[in-house]
A and B are shown apart, each in its own frame.
Chain A
């Protein structure tokens, strides 16, 4: 039983770390990275230096990176053995979010492309 007691248990998501220094530092690093990523997002959205069609994709990547920063530094979701349950729940959530969003956007875009004539097309048909 003693070797079981020595093993790491589970921690709740959002539970601060143990020492005052490391836990404060975690939030400060998180804030710094989040501010940096937000700043870069706004710059990417305003500049004309970058290739236009790539900007939206870049913004989505920056947003996902910032969500990762929030999860790690604010909610303290780590890859440690005491976090397995939290990470598994998160992974399932991400899977469902991904399926709902990509699936809907994909299907609806195809519907729009294949079925609905746009008002311009309707006008052209009427003019003929």
Chain B
């Protein structure tokens, strides 16, 4: 097999995998998370367009409130810490799941979800405050861009919370089956990616927006 492949140039002396390979396709536990990784990266491309839109419109305030008047750094700091800890605890849940430990997995997933809920609650509080002050998405192009960008991230977190709940139920009902663990790994990739996007949001929107 190896020598045949070498004669038609598919391997380098039979020692290096060219990707065409003589091992056959990878197992599902590799291919599925890899496909999900591609989805997450394309999601980041989507967010890059929203970031570009926001950056283009940030000064188009139409005489309405500007970034310095709207954003509260203290509230945003709590959001940031909550989401970062949530991402960390999600990692701990993955460690427990790998060892098929039901109680720890469920516990850490619950903490992950609760921290995510804290984040989402603060974000919704901030949104309602802003809309109550007349700084809703229809006030100016800047605010449209803001609500689209941050709201899209919030929608992702909401979907993530639903997914966490679903996975807790599935692990509870079906145990650590191979396909369930695969879904759990995809969930953790999704959750870590949301935290990466939040790093960009808190820097570009909130910190740079509230520079003196």
* Chain A residues near B (Cβ < 8 Å): 1, 3-4, 7, 9-16, 20, 23-24, 26-27, 30-31, 34-35, 38, 41-42, 45-46, 48, 52, 55-56, 59-60, 62-63, 66-67, 70-71, 74-75, 85-86, 89-90, 92-93, 96-97, 100-101, 103-105, 108-109
Main secondary structure of the interface of B (DSSP, over half): helix
- The residues of A that contact B52 with a CB separation of less than 8 Å are 100-101, 103-105, 108
Contact A104 B37 (CB under 8 A): no
Say whether B8 faces chain A, with CB atoms less than 8 Å apart: no
CB-CB under 8 A for A93 and B45, given A11-B30, A14-B185 = yes
Q: How far is the CB of B157 from chain A (nearest CB, A)?
A: 16
- Across the A-B interface, how many residue pairs have beta carbons closer than 8 Å? 146
Query: Are B51 and A101 in contact (CB-based, < 8 A)?
Result: yes
Report A-chain residues with C-beta under 8 Å of the C-beta of B211: 45, 52, 55-56
Interface size on B, residues (CB 8 A): 57
Distance in Å from the Cβ of B97 to the closest Cβ of chain A? 9
Q: Is B45 a contact of A16 with CB atoms below 8 Å?
A: no
* Neighbouring B residues of A3 by C-beta, 8 Å: 14-15
Contacts of A108 in B (CB 8 A): 52, 55-56
A90-B95 in contact (CB<8A): no
Closest A residue, CB atoms, query B14:
A3
CB proximity of B66 to chain A, nearest CB, Å: 15
Are A70 and B195 in contact, CB atoms less than 8 angstroms apart?
Answer: yes
Give residues in B with beta carbon < 8 Å to A. Answer: 1-2, 14-15, 17, 22-23, 26, 29-30, 32-34, 37-38, 41-42, 44-45, 48-49, 51-53, 55-56, 73, 77, 80-81, 84-85, 87-88, 91-92, 94-95, 98-99, 185, 188-189, 192-193, 195-196, 199-200, 202-204, 207-208, 210-212
- A89 touching B38 in the complex, CB below 8 Å, given contacts A1-B1, A60-B203: yes
